[in-house]
Structure 1
Amino acid sequence: MLFLLTGAALHIHSSSLVSVEWLVRNVTYRPHCYICFTWDNSVRFLFSDRQPFPRWDCFYWQLLETLRAKVGDPVGFDNSLMQHLTLFTEDPDGEYPNQDVVWEKFEKAFIAAAGLITHAPVLRDYFYKGLEELHRDNVMYLELRSGLSRVCTYELDGTIHDRVWTLKMFQEVTKKFIADHPDFLGARIIISVKAAVKEAIQLQRDFPDVIAGFDMVGREDSGRTLWYFREALSLPAELGVRLPYFFHAGETDDEGTDVDQNILDALLFNTMRIGHGYALAHHPLAKELSRKREVAVELCPISNQVLKLVSDLRNHPAAVLMSEGHPMVISSDDPSLFGTTGLSYDFYQAFVGIGGLKANLGTLKELAVNSIRYSSLPAHLKDTGHVMWQNKWDAFIADNS
């Protein structure tokens, strides 16, 4: 499966783009990296040219270089750090008995990684490394969900960069990566924050080639519904501007709740794709409407399994959608948190677990082609992407015949 051409990655979050091995074994070994162990058994990282001041969740910061020298077992210490940055465990049912527990660890891991990733020199390398890992997995295009307005990209002396700086840096890194890898099509950002539609409109106006659209992220079961934000989400239409939506919707198994209705509300707001859409099969009208509109479901099987929506992927509701030919793409959501990289692992799970015995090479091809078809790329770049992908596919088939 590693050598299969997976096409485009359309649902990956920026905080989990790169493997935790790289974060720990590369980034935490850089100079001026401090660590703090919190009261709730988590960690925080910070790069600073001086001893960081205590704060409510971190009373004592230690220079990692000094701490490693004291520990005497750097390999074991690094492995323990990785445990703070991933959900991987040998006993998932014992360690994560329910959704509340696994989501708590999930959010802690995000917060722990933030201090590393948002250091400006690291972020530049992080984006490039993320594109490298995807390219190695035969991914040719990326749409990255990023909460730009929440990211305080900082320098060693504490200087803070704004969202515009971060977008320009992302643009520069992407251009450099394409120059280094001409068979890579590009990367765009889906702004994923709450109640920041006005900012997203302005950023898309300033960076039309970088900003693909807007999404709202977080655990659906414990958050507000899309309908709650209807006034903010109606703003683009009121202003006469186009801001494409790519909503997370239906990432829940609580049928009949207000959150369960997000599937319908996402379609009412003309979402371009549906993130996860686990609950879509429970809504015949929404399912039919999304199929007619060609609104693809972004299926992230490993994420749905790890976050305890489904234990056996053969019982995943997407099996119904796949058998009916519903528009669908495969993505990996938060690969580093799940101990994976790229898309191949999720393609394998979708093929073996969800596709059933009738799934074949044609199934994999259709899913890969869909990722370009349902991307936010303009028509001419989709055509370019299809040609590039088909040429690689033909070579792949020839080499394996």
Structure 2
Amino acid sequence: MVIWVCRGRLRALVRCSLFLWFVVVCNGGPDPIQRDALMHQEVSRQIGGRETLTLAEQKLDAHLRWCKQKEMSADQFPPSMHFFKAKPLIQKSPIFNLLQKMPKGGALHIHSSSLVSVDWLVKNVTYRPNCYICFTWDNSVRFLFSDRQPFPRWDCIYWQLLETLRAKMGDPTDFDNSLIRNLTLYTEDPDVAYPSQDVVWHKFERAFITAAGLITHAPVLTDYFYRGLEELHQDNVMYLELRSGLSRTYELDGSIHDKVWSLKTFQEATKRFVADHPDFLGARMIITAHRALRVSDIKAAVREAIQMQRDFPEVVAGFDLVGREDSGRTLWYFREALSLPGDLGAVLPYYFHAGETDHEGTKVDENILDALLFNTTRIGHGYALAHHPLAKELSRKRNVAVELCPISNQVLKLVSDLRNHPAAVLMSEGHPLVISSDDPSLFGTSGLSYDFYQAFVGIGGLKANLGTLKELAVNSIRYSSLPPQLKETGLVMWQSKWDVFISENS
């Protein structure tokens, strides 16, 4: 044993000596040729580092690099600022303008309650007949469609017909803006408005409750899904995987539809949209349940998801737990429920939120490893992954992609300067990544362009190039839940769009 250890140390010393001999010339300084080789090798490991660019792509890449250098040297660098303050600067960026035109593949991490812009909800949905509003004791609002005056309830004593209320105001602009503020996190001074994660998450969850009364009205839900696909398509996104708990929907008379009705509505809206837009690949759904529920509730939700996937295999992609990780129950807490598919001999892919925390070393922080133990197909957010070398190694070996949502991580106060985002390490190592937007309507975005900008300019830095963008877009098809044949179809469709994008912008 001693001899083996000594030999092991000797081999290590020999390798070290050979490396030093390899990079050092007689005068003791680094060899420029070997330095260039090392630099090239390091770049080749990053996302997009092995992409071979055509002459036209190289021309566009040089332009992007020049634009990025200019933006990085400016007095105000958008990724270093809170997104709400940076957004006007981003909109003026030539890089952002190009990203809007770029085919971005699929959006694999968006929640159903925040799919559509709040402008559309307020200026379209709240102007529909029979929409009632109530102002709650905690300075929030609730909406309800009804064919008669709604009864008082614990959080809403007095309901008013919104049409009548607006008629009393003359110019409703200020009132509509106040409704928008209840449906989004946007504020002019986010650092003052949201001094902690607890405060911003409270507002975050309250906004979902406010939107629910609008979105879960059955006629609205049908239009809502179609409009959501439309907003993605306008941003050159061609595929969606939507996370949804499939809340029960209601009619004007108060009658309720079950979850299957909502799933069928999503399926029908998708088919109609694809028929109207043949260059859109489609949409699937990841069924979700909240991590604040009991084990028995999650068991029921898993059983329900298994049945839905059996009944709708083309629509249902899998299952996930949602809600704030830091205040919710861990994946390990639900291990009995999450083991059900295996116990029942069923197949239910998981797409777990994991590592959306900066509480290193806590039980919540263990969700990253537990997600992999439960064979998650992708990792939602994975903000903490860089602090878990074993989990990072396992996820890379298993080809488990991280769904990176930069703006969400910043607005929810995991990171203030996106140059310091842990995903910079993952990008430089070529770890499987896709870019998504999480809850775009709450952050004042739509599509993926804003998040692509933050990832490309802020997290990726000057090293990220056109090859990086190309691989990230391709990843969104490669790591989607689509069956192999549809993935191939999607990649062909995307490549065609990419070639047009390059020819028009190089």
1:345 aligns with 2:345: no
In structure 2, what is the equivalent of residue 201 of structure 1? 306
Partner letter of residue 174 of structure 1?
Answer: T
In structure 2, what is the equivalent of residue 216 of structure 1? 321
For 2:148, which of 50, 61, 65 is the aligned residue?
50
In structure 2, what is the equivalent of residue 34 of structure 1? 132
CA distance in 2, matches of 1:334, 1:256: 27
Deviation at 1:167, TM superposition (A): 1.0
For 1:142, which of 234, 237, 240 is the aligned residue?
240
CA distance in 2, matches of 1:11, 1:365: 19
1:159 aligns with 2:264: no
CA distance in 2, matches of 1:312, 1:382: 35
CA distance in 2, matches of 1:41, 1:104: 13
TM-score, structure 2 normalization = 0.78
In structure 2, what is the equivalent of residue 254 of structure 1? 359
In structure 2, what is the equivalent of residue 189 of structure 1? 285
For 2:195, which of 97, 109, 124 is the aligned residue?
97
In structure 1, what is the equivalent of residue 265 of structure 2? 169
SS at match of 1:179: helix
Deviation at 1:73, TM superposition (A): 2.8
Structure 1 residues 216-254: Cα deviation after superposition (integer angstroms, max 9, x where no partner): 000000000000000000000011111000000000000
CA distance in 1, matches of 2:158, 2:236: 43
1:266 aligns with 2:364: no
Partner letter of residue 160 of structure 2?
Answer: Q
In structure 1, what is the equivalent of residue 229 of structure 2? 131
Q: Percent identity?
A: 83
SS at match of 1:220: coil
CA distance in 2, matches of 1:243, 1:337: 30
After TM superposition, the structure 1 = structure 2 runs for residues 13-32 of structure 1, keeping only pairs within 5 Å, are 13-32=111-130
For 1:367, which of 443, 467, 472 is the aligned residue?
472
Structure with greater helix share of residues: 2
Structure 1 residues 326-376: Cα deviation after superposition (integer angstroms, max 9, x where no partner): 000000000000000000000001001100111111111110000000000
Deviation at 1:11, TM superposition (A): 0.1
Deviation at 1:146, TM superposition (A): 0.1
In structure 2, what is the equivalent of residue 234 of structure 1? 339
SS at match of 2:402: strand
Partner letter of residue 253 of structure 2?
Answer: D
CA distance in 1, matches of 2:348, 2:373: 14
For structure 2, the residue ranges without an aligned partner over 5 or more in a row are 1-98, 291-297
Contact 2:248 2:262 in 1 (8 A): no
Q: Which runs of 4+ in 1 moved over 4 A?
A: none
1:377 aligns with 2:482: yes
SS at match of 2:154: coil
After TM superposition, the structure 1 = structure 2 runs for residues 55-94 of structure 1, keeping only pairs within 5 Å, are 55-94=153-192
Partner letter of residue 260 of structure 2?
Answer: V
Contact 2:125 2:214 in 1 (8 A): yes
CA distance in 2, matches of 1:199, 1:142: 22
Deviation at 1:72, TM superposition (A): 2.5
SS at match of 2:322: coil
SS at match of 1:221: coil
Alignment RMSD? 0.6
1:357 aligns with 2:467: no
SS at match of 2:100: coil
